[in-house]
Chain A
Amino acid sequence: MSKIVRRTFTAGAAASVLSLGLPAAAQQQTVKIGVIYPLSGNAASAGTHAKIAAELGADLINNGNPELAKLLPLAKGGGLPGLKGAKIELVIADNQGTPAAGQNQTLRLITQEKVAAVMGSYQSGITQTASAVAEKYGIPFLTPESTAADLTERGFKWFFRTTPIATNFAKAYSDFLKEQKAAGQKTDKIAIVYENTEYGKSTFTAIADLFAKEGHTVGLQVPYSANSTDVQPQVLQLKEKNPDVVIFISYTSDAILYAKTMKELNWKPAILMADDAGFNDAAFVKAMGSQVEGLISRSAFAPGKPGSIAAICDELYKKKSGGDGLDDGSARGLQGFLVLADAINRAGSTDPAKIREALVATDMGPEQMVAGYNGVKFDSKGQNTLGSSLIIQMRNGQYVPVWPKAKATAELILPYKGWPQ
């Protein structure tokens, strides 16, 4: 066979592979990205939604979407242009909701699956152990959603975080409450109820520290062990002390129990706030949304106008998940994945050191965001400095942005209503 004929043949084969989206031929390079989330255990619903977000991201890059391609260059399809059209292959792992499994599975992804980078792992306590393995092996680890402040304080070189963190939220809550106080709401007695793993403890500390500086009094703090079988004593404690504001820091199963038990024992504060997590999980919203009218939470995601990146991704996500739209967790997951993919693309290589350099050099503007961040740019600790969050409120079973005013689509309504009377 002459050289020319052979070249035409390979080019033709490659073209047909690209256009049909068939599994890549053996000689075509793929980039393996490890995706580790809780797919079993009590956070499985949140983990599954995050996993679907990563799958949607890979799908956008490998197969493209014409509408989105106008806004997001990477969504043209045909793989990563920086790596000659290499497709992304996700290697999914289950952290089983325990720090030990998170550690073992990350080790497996790195040493056996030989992934170029890892993303995950939802629960801050698990991200902590999982990312320590990546650090040891010199593999970039990006967390799109774990918010415990300490994670970026460990002096790690290979750890990156796109989500804003607890101290940012604490500031938003404090400003929000100050504004409500100025408007005549009672905010004198504040209670914080938090689960006592890494996420809950560090978020509580961040909020309590900032509140003390800014003149809010946290009169009652209730730590509890996650995955409770019963939360009646906690709610009775709240009922007894009757604070004006309660802030919950909880995962999904406990969030459902708190919402149910508050109704059972017929108690509600004037302002009920939740720090995202369980209270934003699609499963919570579906199960309890109608029983927590007026609940305030935070979110990095607002669907936005039709035709925006967020709105298009929301539609695509609905198709992939079989109904659930993007929410705060999945939007941040997708955002994190796209940042990682963009860095690998710019690195033009699967070499971890080059990917790390590209991550360090990341500079994305607000126009490229799925989540409502002002962009992505990492500081020397690997923390995104452009993350931002809005305050959302539950209305008729759905969250809508209510604060700050510039991003609000609905008026804030207080006091908290809860269940239909």
Chain B
Amino acid sequence: MGMTLVQVVVSGLLLGAVYSLFSSGLTLIWGMMNVVNFAHGDFVMLGMYTAVVVWTALGGGPWASVPVAAILIATLGIVSYFLLVRHIMRGPMLAQILGTFGLALFLRYGALWIFGANFKTLPDDLVGHSFIVGGIRFEGARVLAGLVGLAVTLLLHFILTRTSVGSRMLAVSEDAVAAQLMGIRPQRMQALAWGLAGAATGIAGALIATFFYTSPTVGETLSIVAFVTVALGGFGSVLGALVAGLLIGVIESLSAFLIGPVYKDVIVYTVFVLVLWFRPQGLMGKA
């Protein structure tokens, strides 16, 4: 029992790292522009299909598909910003919600049309086999995704807090007009935020595809957790998403193992509600 329990916690941490990776792009967009991107899950889905296509067409593993997905989804993010988001940001909150939600449906059913409804999977030795440390099994693909997730999250945090580009992006998010008076071009910064978030999201998708199935609706399956992660961590806080992701992963795994898989969502959402009760801004969000 003891050993299995450690394995459950490890599995939960690795799962949580993936949730953080999945959520970092979403929280960045929120923090930068106060827009909830409902198409986020579908951006991840396209990152996953990028990995599938890179593998089936070119035989390339994650070393090839991660950069390709980062560039493609970053481009998609920037294009979405200029064609759609820039315009709906001037409208009421409802327009923003419906706008990105419409984008989500467009991408989802576009994928259904192009790739078909079938589930695709990548060969599971693409990243390397699982290995055993101290009696605990680690799956290569999940470890890679977890580590890269950690690195990407920390890198985003670094860019936002320690670089001049980051400061300019934060300035635009705090007060776009004041930032403009200081010689910052808000639209350029916002497009950059969408590009950065897109790149992180593309990386997430390409890595998740190495151990999860890929289908047009997979973004929908995963994105509920992403929204919980972001809200729990604090909207806009990249580090918060990391902590919240790990927390949710471990709570999910432990409760599914000890109490039963049908109850795990009840427990996760109870913790979620309790945290928001006492800290409405989330674990690491600014009040």
Q: How many residue pairs bridge A and B at CB < 8 Å?
A: 112
Which of B54-62, B70-78, B168-176, B209-217 lines the interface with chain A?
B209-217
Question: A223 to B262, Cβ gap below 8 A?
Answer: yes
Partner of B262 from the list A225, A266, A286 (CB cut-off 8 Å) is A225
Chain A residue numbers with a CB within 8 Å of B217 are: 40-42, 44
CA distance A287 to B119 in the complex (A): 7
Nearest Cβ on chain A to B132's Cβ, whole angstroms:
9
A232 adjacent to chain B (CB < 8 Å): yes
CA distance A46 to B116 in the complex (A): 12
Chain B residue numbers with a CB within 8 Å of A253 are: 119, 213, 215, 218, 221
Q: A47-B117, A284-B119 are in contact. Are A40 and B261 (CB under 8 A)?
A: no
A252 adjacent to chain B (CB < 8 Å): yes
Question: B121 to A287, Cβ gap below 8 A?
Answer: yes
Contact with A along B101-138 (1 / 0, CB 8 A): 00000001100100011111100100000100000010
Contact with A along B247-281 (1 / 0, CB 8 A): 00000111011001110110000000000000000
Question: A237 to B215, Cβ gap below 8 A?
Answer: no
Question: A39 to B261, Cβ gap below 8 A?
Answer: no
Nearest Cβ on chain B to A351's Cβ, whole angstroms:
36
Most buried by B among A42, A45, A263: A42
Chain A residue numbers with a CB within 8 Å of B109 are: 40
CA distance A45 to B119 in the complex (A): 7
Most buried by B among A223, A234, A236, A265: A236
Question: A264 to B130, Cβ gap below 8 A?
Answer: yes
Q: A225-B262, A240-B4, A260-B211 are in contact. Are A232 and B119 (CB under 8 A)?
A: no
Chain A residue numbers with a CB within 8 Å of B213 are: 253, 256-257, 260, 287
Nearest Cβ on chain B to A240's Cβ, whole angstroms:
5
B225 adjacent to chain A (CB < 8 Å): yes
Partner of A264 from the list B119, B139, B218, B264 (CB cut-off 8 Å) is B139
Question: B4 to A266, Cβ gap below 8 A?
Answer: no
Q: A232-B15, A253-B221 are in contact. Are A287 and B120 (CB under 8 A)?
A: yes
Can you spell out 8 A-B residue pairs with CB atoms less than 8 angstroms apart?
Answer: A41-B217, A47-B117, A224-B262, A252-B119, A256-B213, A264-B124, A264-B137, A287-B121
Interface residues of B (CB under 8 A from A): 1, 4, 7-8, 11-12, 15, 108-109, 112, 116-121, 124, 130, 137, 139, 142, 211-213, 215-218, 221-222, 225, 252-254, 256-257, 260-262, 264-265
Interface residues of A (CB under 8 A from B): 39-42, 44-45, 47-48, 196, 222-225, 227-234, 236-237, 239-240, 252-253, 256-257, 260, 263-266, 281-284, 286-288, 291
